[in-house]
């Protein structure tokens, strides 16, 4: 009798432990499934390419271009690209120019004038460029700056009065809208200010340049 009664508590203990294990397994499975969802979301996150660090070679509304016809100088003219991105030219009418390089526009005009002129050579040069940008953060005179020529990020900051003593030169942000989406690039301007050769980053129409303040170490 004593031996049989002594085994009962052991059997009861085992039966009480068993129901808890499936609950634990279910929790682990849920956590694992949740982790997979998070990983899938991470994989779907867009990776934006850096803003191009080169001289802009495309035309914008507000830019003034010089159009030269070597064989027909009477057609030579300077004209500002309209708000709709177009030029109004003799013999061919409205021509869309915004978003094209001067070379691309030149080729297109040569084709358009092919049936109008015996010598259809056309030269397109950029005379002035309207580039409004906003500079904010740790600069002396934050606000809007308008250039009439290609300008760099550093030039825009200097036009806004330059850096304040609190400025963090290694984390300057350039924010640009490309096809309806905001893209940003962080620049370290310390090398260029130290005289080191550095690829120039030119501003584009509507850019926002933000200069943060240095984080204080306590």
Q: Can you give the three-state secondary structure of 143-181, one letter per residue?
A: EEEEECCCCEHHHHHHHCCCECCCECHHHEEEEEEECCE
Rounded mean pLDDT of 183-211?
93
To the question of domain 64-128 being in CATH 3.30.1950.10, the answer is yes
Question: CA distances (Å), 213 to each of 140, 191, 201, in order?
Answer: 12, 18, 21
Lateral strand order in the sheet of 123-128: 77-80, 64-68, 123-128
Strand 131-137 with 208-211, pairing: parallel
Task: For the chain, report the end-to-end CA distance as a whole number of angstroms.
Answer: 74
Hey, how many other C-beta atoms are within 10 angstroms of the C-beta on 55?
A: 9
- CATH topology classification for 131-211: Outer membrane lipoprotein wza fold like (3.10.560)
Cβ neighbours of residue 129 closer than 8 Å, sequence gap 6 or more: 60, 62, 63, 64, 147, 148, 149, 150
Per DSSP, the chain holds a count of helices (H) and strands (E) of 5, 10
pLDDT at 158: 97
Q: Which of 113, 162, 124 is nearest to 141 (CA)?
A: 162
Of the pLDDT bands very low, low, confident and very high (cuts 50, 70, 90), residue 27 is low
3-state secondary structure of 44: helix
Element (H, E) at 70: none
Give residue limits of the domains in the chain: 2-38, 64-128, 131-211
Q: Which of 89, 165, 152 is nearest to 97 (CA)?
A: 89
Task: Give yes or no for a contact between 79 and 145, defined as CB atoms under 8 angstroms apart.
Answer: no
pLDDT digits (tens, 9 = 90+) for 145-192: 988 888 899 999 999 999 999 999 999 999 998 778 889 999 999 999
Distance CA 48, CA 58 (A): 21
pLDDT at 181: 86
pLDDT at 58: 82
pLDDT digits (tens, 9 = 90+) for 30-70: 554 444 444 444 433 344 455 655 556 788 888 899 999 99
- Is the pLDDT confidence value at 13 over 80? no
pLDDT digits (tens, 9 = 90+) for 117-151: 999 999 999 888 778 899 999 999 999 998 888 88
Task: Give yes or no for a contact between 174 and 180, defined as CB atoms under 8 angstroms apart.
Answer: no
């Amino acid at each position: 009798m004593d031996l049989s009664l002594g085994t009962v508590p052991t059997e009861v203990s085992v039966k009480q432990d068993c129901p808890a294990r499936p609950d634990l397994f279910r929790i682990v499975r849920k956590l694992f499934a949740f982790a997979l969802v998070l990983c899938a979301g991470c994989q779907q996150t867009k990776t934006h390419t850096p803003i191009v660090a080169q001289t802009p070679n495309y035309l914008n509304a507000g830019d003034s271009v010089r159009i030269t016809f070597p064989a027909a100088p009477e057609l030579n003219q300077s004209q500002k690209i309209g708000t709709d991105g177009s030029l109004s030219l003799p013999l061919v009418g409205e021509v869309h120019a915004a978003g094209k390089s001067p070379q691309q526009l030149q080729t297109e005009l040569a084709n358009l004038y092919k049936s109008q002129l015996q010598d259809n050579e056309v030269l397109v040069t950029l005379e002035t460029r309207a580039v409004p940008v906003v500079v904010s953060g740790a600069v002396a005179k934050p606000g809007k700056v308008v250039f009439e020529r290609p300008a760099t990020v550093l030039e825009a900051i200097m036009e806004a009065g330059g850096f304040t003593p609190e400025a963090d030169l290694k984390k300057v942000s350039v924010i640009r809208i490309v096809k309806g989406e905001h893209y940003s690039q962080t620049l370290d301007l310390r090398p260029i200010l130290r005289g080191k050769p550095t690829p120039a980053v030119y501003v584009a129409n509507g850019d926002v340049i933000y200069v943060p303040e240095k984080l204080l170490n306590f």
